[in-house]
Chains A and B, each alone.
Chain A
Amino acid sequence: MIVEGICVVIAAYCAIRAVFEPKTLKKLPYLNVMNFAVAGAIVLLMPYPITICAAIAYFIGSTLESNAIASTFARLEEQ
């Protein structure tokens, strides 16, 4: 109960913070933290062992996505 509460609070706070942050490059760390909290919540949801595969796939995919956004935005800004 406490562990789920911690994951939910971190994910909700970081989602709100990521949307209302004014600068785009400062939004991306909050998006990353929200993805970590959601990956933790996925592991806690179902009691089967394949859940950990879903969590690993979500972790890899979300990290790749936010890093791709960050690198493209940084390359556009320095031009």
Chain B
Amino acid sequence: MTDLILILAIFLALFGGIAALLVRSAFDKLICLGILTAGVVLFLVEKGYLDVAIVVSLLMPVGTIFILLLLGKKQEAAK
């Protein structure tokens, strides 16, 4: 039963990373980074590092919000 969730973590991390490389728009890249982070948090919980998982999942939106503050000033980023 743990194998199924481990396969999900591998799929999410690889799929999010490859999609973040290939996608053009900046907002789509942030969405793909969210998918990648879901896989990373699943890996951390599966190995038992629950405190690291808590810190990573609370600090992940802080980095995204900093990127969004810089991105919100550019008009051409919305295309």
Contact = CB atoms under 8 A, between A and B. Distances in A.
B18 to A, nearest CB: 9
Contacts, number: 129
A41 B75 contact: no
Interface string B17-47: 0010001010110111011011001100110
Interface of A: 1, 4-5, 7-8, 11-12, 15-16, 18-19, 24, 27-28, 31, 34-35, 38, 41-42, 44-46, 48, 50-51, 53-54, 57-58, 60-62, 64-66, 68-69, 72-73, 75-77, 79
Nearest to A45: B45
A8 B7 contact: yes
Given A8-B4, A65-B61, A34 B45 contact: no
How many chain B residues sit at the interface, stated as a range, is 35 or more
Interface of B: 1-2, 4-5, 7-8, 11-12, 15-16, 19, 23, 25, 27-28, 30-32, 34-35, 37-38, 41-42, 45-46, 48, 50, 53-54, 57-61, 64-65, 68, 71-72, 75, 77-78
